[in-house]
Amino acid sequence: MTEIIRTVAEIRKYVEDQKGQRKKVGLIPTMGAFHQGHLTLMNLARKECGSVITSVFVNPIQFSAGEDYDQYPRQPERDMKMAESEEVDIMFIPDVAQMYPKGFDTHVDQNEKGLPSKLCGPFRPGHFRGVMTVVLKLFAVVRPNLAYMGQKDYQQFLITRRMSLDLNLDVEVHLLPTLREEDGLAMSSRNIYLGPKQRKDATILYDSLMRAKEMVGNGESSAVKVTTAMKKQIRAVKGARIDYIAVVNSETLEPLKEIKGKTLIALSVRIGKARLIDNILL
Ligand code: AMP
């Protein structure tokens, strides 16, 4: 049976008790509106941890002005059933006042020129600061041994792993591959914003990544040639607007001219009111 906990005090007490029983605690931080991608994270946590906690919190401070905080899908009952099917022990569902009580005034930052300044950073001012702050709070409250994140949000994973190392949080952050729909579209809670035509158009993200992979597989090592081919392919789709396409080192997120070593190809494309991201690791 999955149990719901809504307060910091109660989750602390629960975790203390689990650790007293020498159980490994695994945390899956989420914003809810679960899909199969979320469930695979829970599934792996279940295999690796004695105690599995999934947090559901639509974090207001990681949304910039004009973004979709109010519209973000909220489906607590459905989420609960899905978490139960993965044998999650606890759904931690704090409200905004639990996480940011009156007077809250501390945020977490990384180097101005560091990981948060890359890829999505310039398009979402303050986003990663909000993410780091909430993740640090969740780690401080839950004190997990392990945390599970998805490759779809690869930049978020790198930033979190860096923060965990830099601040000695002692949380091992595991990365899981992106779960996809049959036509390749990365699963996302935001895909519900897409109308039927837009949903078809959205397959262009993965198609262009596969084209890039094929080019590299055939010996192309020029990043600019690869991104030019991707741009051309995406621009052929009328409703798609590119935020960025980037070929970067997958540890530093610094742009690469020549594709060699650990490489990430990442992109963000807006279709209708949805801003979609995807990436592949080479
Ligand atoms: P979210 O609820 O969208 O904030 O995502 C919560 C966690 O699930 C994050 O670590 C995401 O990277 C991960 N996630 C989201 N979509 C997918 C996906 N399609 N495949 C794997 N993991 C995902």
CA-CA-CA-CA dihedral for 268, 269, 271, 272, to nearest 10: 70
Kindly indicate the confidence band of residue 79, based on its pLDDT and cuts at 50, 70 and 90. Answer: very high
148 Cα–ligand 1 center, Å: 9
Q: Please count the other Cβ atoms lying within 10 Å of the Cβ belonging to residue 49.
A: 20
34 near 79, Cβ under 8 Å? Answer: yes
Is 38 among the residues known to form the active site? yes
pLDDT in tens, 112-170: 999 999 999 999 999 999 999 999 999 999 999 999 999 999 999 999 999 999 999 99
29 Cα–ligand 1 center, Å: 9
Query: Residue range 244-255: average pLDDT?
Result: 98
How confident is the prediction for the chain on average, in pLDDT? 97
pLDDT in tens, 176-200: 999 999 999 999 999 999 999 999 9
pTM over 0.95: yes
Residue nearest to atom 6 of ligand 1 (CA): 30
20 Cα–ligand 1 center, Å: 30
Residue 254 buriedness (CB in 10 A; 0-12 / 13-18 / 19+): exposed
Burial state string for 154-165 with b = 16 or more CB within 10 A and e = fewer than 16: bbbbbbbbbbbe
Question: Which residue among the candidates 38, 107, 127, 174 is catalytic per the annotation?
Answer: 38
- Taken in order 53, 58, 61, 67, is the CA torsion positive or negative? positive
Kindly indicate the confidence band of residue 20, based on its pLDDT and cuts at 50, 70 and 90. Answer: very high
What percent of the chain has a predicted confidence (pLDDT) above 70? 100
- Residues in contact with ligand 1 by the CB-under-6-Å rule are 30-31, 37-38, 41, 149-150, 152-153, 176, 178-179, 186-189
27 Cα–ligand 1 center, Å: 13
- Ligand 1 atom with the shortest distance to the CA of 180: 19
pLDDT score recorded for residue 106: 98
Query: Residue range 238-248: average pLDDT?
Result: 97
What percent of the chain has a predicted confidence (pLDDT) above 90? 100
Kindly indicate the confidence band of residue 24, based on its pLDDT and cuts at 50, 70 and 90. Answer: very high
- Ligand 1 atom with the shortest distance to the CA of 32: 2
- Taken in order 276, 261, 156, 91, is the CA torsion positive or negative? positive
Cα–Cα distance measured from residue 149 to residue 122, given in angstroms and rounded to the nearest whole number: 22
Residue listed under structure tokens 């965990």: 164
pLDDT score recorded for residue 29: 98
